[in-house]
Chain A
Amino acid sequence: MADLRANCAGIESPNPFWLASGPPTNTYGQVARAFDAGWGGAVWKTIGEPIINVYSRYGSVDLGGNRVMGFNNIELITDRPLEDNFREIAEVKRDYPRNALVVSLMVESKREAWHEIVKRTEDAGADGLELNFGCPHGMSERGMGSAVGQVPEYTARILGWVKEVATRPVLAKLTPNVTDVTYIARAARQGGADGLSLINTINSIMGVDLTTFAPLPAVGGKSSHGGYCGPAVKPIALHMVSAVAGDRDVGLPVSGIGGIATWRDAAEFIALGASSVQVCTAVMHYGFRIVEDLADGLSNWMDEVGLRTLDDLRGKALPNVTTWEQLDLNYHLVAEIDYDKCIECELCYVACEDGAHQAIRRHDDADRAGGRHAVEIIEEACVGCNLCSLVCPVDGCIAMKQIPNGAPPVSWKDFTAGRGRLAPRPEHFHVARFG
């Protein structure tokens, strides 16, 4: 059985599955139940000067009958007294010494304030600290959260204050609401961070109530932008995690966050460089019990592909993340339909015809009666874009097949530098002439 033990920036846990800072980690009772269910770690919901929340805090994007494809919140940090939080943090550590308990922190941008909360949190027994530089709503209006994480200098300065007194590993939690997250990540490194957590939530309005014209989630007919998360944000998070994990000037362990709901999601984050993964929305949707399949599925898959530890998996996909200019222009793909599986819905046809490259031909009923298939790939027009295989509702019906063209790989970079040769391409999708 695969060894799922994780170590992120010196914070050890029996598995890489941590609850992200949020509503599920607000109390002793929740975190204790989560650890009983099998979670490896938890990041305690952000503590700081207590706030007052509004009613109506969450919104959901549903798609095709599936609930909570995307999720957002306008909830703030803990609204419980600091003393209660510290007491329960200590109780969790007392009762669950083997699990990782990280505490998320956010206070006003004053050196003394940060010193004090760091010391008190460490006194309570936290295994690590996560600085919330990412919360995009409410707290940012008060100069905290993403207001810090959007400015490299602030990020580095507060990390510096924290590191003056911290004795446990410090993670900086980054906001995706920036032009390029690697700049902030580098600043966090310079400030002394031991690791990074990302992504925090994305600025969002979840919708508009078309009866009241209230943005959602609505508070008395009004709303403010909230933090977007859930399965829909995973691709954004994967990109940012890979950008940070693959950046030589950052060079910090990463705790990956953003839309993780299954062990496959987790494996992808780890393959792109994450040392642990954090989950919130999926737990808010289905409860702590989901950790069982997260661990079981990951372990079974690792056994199947021969990966023994998370170190074997971590970063395995990173070398394959490159720039567009390095991609091989001679890698020739063509769609291929398995007619035994085709159900003749013609979704590939209309998608290609209207939405892409007019490379699928359809036959009318008379031709079909004569033995023609409903649809047919026009190989000489197919640009191998994948669209037909993406919209096809039948698994494995449309495959993208590589056409060997005998040509050595050539990237745009090489090609424009006069190195390498383009394999011949069908004239009609190669309109411009080069060289």
Chain B
Amino acid sequence: MTHYAPPLPAAELERNFADIAPPLTPDAAIAEAHRCLYCFDAPCTKACPTHIDVPAFIKKIATGNLRGSARVILDANPMGHSCARACPVEVLCEGACVLNDRDVKPINIALLQRHATDYALERKLRLFAPGRPNGKRVAIVGAGPAGLSCAQDLRRWGYAVTVLEAQDKPGGLNTYGIAEYKMRPATALAEAQMVLDLGVELRTGVVVGRDVGLETLLEEYDAVFVGVGLGSNRGLGIPGEELVGVVDALSFIAHLKSHPYSETPVGRRVAVIGAGNTAIDAVTQAKRLGAERAMIVYRRGEADMRCYHYEYELAKRDGCEFRFHASPRRVLGNARVEGLEVETPAGVEVIACDMVIKALGQTPRAEFVPPAAHPKLFVGGDCANGGAEIVNAAAEGKKGAAAIHRMLGGGHG
């Protein structure tokens, strides 16, 4: 391991992974809430995939009704807290705020949403109650944002809900995959717990397809909702991929999030292959762990990057480097990574590095999306949409719950 960067001092690591958007003080929250115009049929609400009534929750902050505010948010979106931390609000609610048209800073919806949901999480408020048992049972595969959002509504309507989770903790990518400076696992788990506290049965360490068959679930339950996320990371498909020091981005991030920071090895010089949001999460966190140089290596140009613009800006602020139009050909090294050979418009080049992080996206999980739809099977979240935001998964989880409710004769939803 000597070729890896020595761990930074604990205090520096703590600083590097501190909350990137610290919460508002109560005074600042009220002042910001008062700026909201309380639009009718508000564009922010329309822009949110879960259609949170944004003006309503903001006005409740202004009146000091934080419980009511949190309820408005979490009723529409059980993952309202993680969304407040990790949503791309610039392209959703805040981007739609009418104040943008007035050349005024849009309302800081994310931090206000965080303020209200912090209040509920810190106090472990019971904002919702389970419905009267209706005798029907639903299995949910995957305790990520989609599955948990589905579970909340079903419990509120009186269904018995069992969630099967392959990992040993709930939360899915909220727990294992969000950049550490945006949200820590404990927060994701607290948010998940609010849903579980409605009386959801959670069975962790259960892999559907290995420990229990999907067919069995479909036989034993009245309905099954699948929200398992995406599959494994796509491979590079180039020589040298098996060398020590080649890791996939999600494993790198998950390791960082489930160990003390100093225990996640990071190279002195790190090349991250890919230019999506996960690539940015990997390169910034590599840098924050102590890499001397951390670099995005991307075969296309700046304008083609799939990451959000503000994520790109963040990586630049973190001191990360960008190599555009550099197509990886080979990982070089004897047993462990020593460099990355890339093809550029100027010819073949070697980028010296001792760690390569693969961030080329994840494969779909076709096994849960059968070609012939089963009437009792519902899917949502990344496994259905090919990979999107938490808020999309939450919206689809709720949509799945409503569809199940309709199918099983529920009066509404």
Contacts and interface: CB of A to CB of B under 8 A. Distances in A.
Contacts of B41: 346, 362
B102 A65 contact: no
A64 interface: yes
A360 to B, nearest CB: 10
A349 interface: yes
A349 B39 CA distance: 10
Contacts of A1: none
Interface residues of A, number: 13
Given A65-B30, A343-B101, A344-B101, A393 B40 contact: no
A345 B39 contact: yes
Interface string A345-361: 11101100000000000
A394 interface: yes
Q: Specify the main secondary structure of chain B where it touches its partner.
A: helix
Report which residue of A344, A345, A346, A365 has the largest number of chain B beta carbons within 10 angstroms of its beta carbon: A345
A223 B122 CA distance: 36
Contacts, number: 34
A69 B62 CA distance: 17
Contacts of A346: 39-41
A347 B37 contact: yes
A343 B106 CA distance: 12
B40 A349 contact: yes
Report which residue of A343, A362, A365, A393 has the largest number of chain B beta carbons within 10 angstroms of its beta carbon: A343
Contacts of B42: 345
Given A343-B98, A345-B98, A350 B37 contact: no
Given A343-B98, A344-B101, A394-B102, A65 B43 contact: no
A365 B46 CA distance: 10
Contact of A344 (B30, B31, B43, B62): B43
B34 A344 contact: no
Nearest to A346: B40
Contacts of B40: 345-347, 349-350
Q: How large, as a class, is the contact surface on chain B?
A: 10 to 19
Interface in B36-84: 37-43, 46, 62
Nearest to B100: A343
A347 B31 contact: no
Nearest to A353: B40
Interface string B116-159: 00000000000000000000000000000000000000000000
A65 B31 contact: yes
A45 to B, nearest CB: 33
A304 B101 CA distance: 32
Contacts of B87: none
Interface in B1-42: 30-31, 34-35, 37-42
A86 B1 CA distance: 88
Given A344-B39, A349-B40, 11 more contacts: A64-B34, A65-B30, A65-B34, A65-B35, A343-B102, A344-B101, A346-B40, A347-B37, A347-B38, A362-B41, A393-B102
User: Which 6 pairs across A and B sit closest by C-beta, in order of nearness?
Assistant: A65-B34, A350-B40, A346-B40, A343-B101, A343-B98, A345-B39
22 contacts: A64-B34, A64-B62, A65-B34, A65-B62, A343-B98, A343-B99, A343-B101, A343-B102, A344-B43, A344-B98, A344-B101, A345-B39, A345-B98, A346-B39, A346-B41, A347-B37, A347-B38, A347-B39, A349-B40, A350-B40, A362-B41, A393-B102
